Structure 1
């Protein structure tokens, strides 16, 4: 799929703006993150691990923090969104709040740091 920048170049309109916002918040939260690919998705990579991917599906946008425990530990912030064990679905019209994205990214960073020792 290529890097985040390449992937975002394939999307137009409100969906692109919504995904760009997610990536912008993630980059501010973890400035050391680099663009790459994880699980065949364009993603931000931190310490060699997938930090976050944000993608466009046919019916919704999704973020993948590459951790079911990160999703589960933030369910209290996600009442108005559909979640799976590893993803959070949203739309350009009903975006994730900035504070929620920031908290998810921070939680994933802590998880990666803890596993790295």
Structure 2
């Protein structure tokens, strides 16, 4: 992984490097999830956060993605995001704060939109302001 920079514009290159370093099919799966996240939050800033690609809106990470040995993950950086949306998560394995999905099957655009909306609602409860 490349050395991280304090330059906010370097974030896209860092995320590019993270994804490009992955073997297939993880690479194309995360690239598609990234594209779908940016379709929901097109003005998000990309950066490496906690060692994985993160998508920042108004100073807060609203989504993260990562690849692991046997799965990929969507990380909303809050366990509160999954509360109340269980019906959308049927068929997925998850931990308290990550949603696991197959290395060869990107999350749907619809599910990504639900997850990001829930994260924004959680942030608003904590005093964050939407753009």
For 1:60 and 1:92, how far apart are their aligned partners in 2?
5
C-alpha displacement of 1:38:
2.2
Paired residue secondary structure (1:66): coil
1:98 aligns with 2:109: yes
1:108 aligns with 2:119: yes
Q: C-alpha deviations, 1:68-100, integer Å up to 9, x for none?
A: 111223221111010111000011344422211
For 1:51 and 1:99, how far apart are their aligned partners in 2?
16
C-alpha displacement of 1:109:
2.7
The structure whose Rg is larger is 2
* Count of paired positions: 117
For 2:90 and 2:106, how far apart are their aligned partners in 1?
13
Q: Which residue of 2 aligns with 1:57?
A: 68
Q: Which residue of 2 aligns with 1:81?
A: 92
CA RMSD of aligned residues (A): 1.9
| TM-score normalised by the chain length of structure 1 | 0.86
* Regions of 4+ moved over 6 Å: none
For 1:92 and 1:57, how far apart are their aligned partners in 2?
9
For 2:49 and 2:76, how far apart are their aligned partners in 1?
11
| TM-score normalised by the chain length of structure 2 | 0.78
Paired residue secondary structure (1:116): coil
- Structure 2 residue runs of 5 or longer lacking an equivalent are 5-13
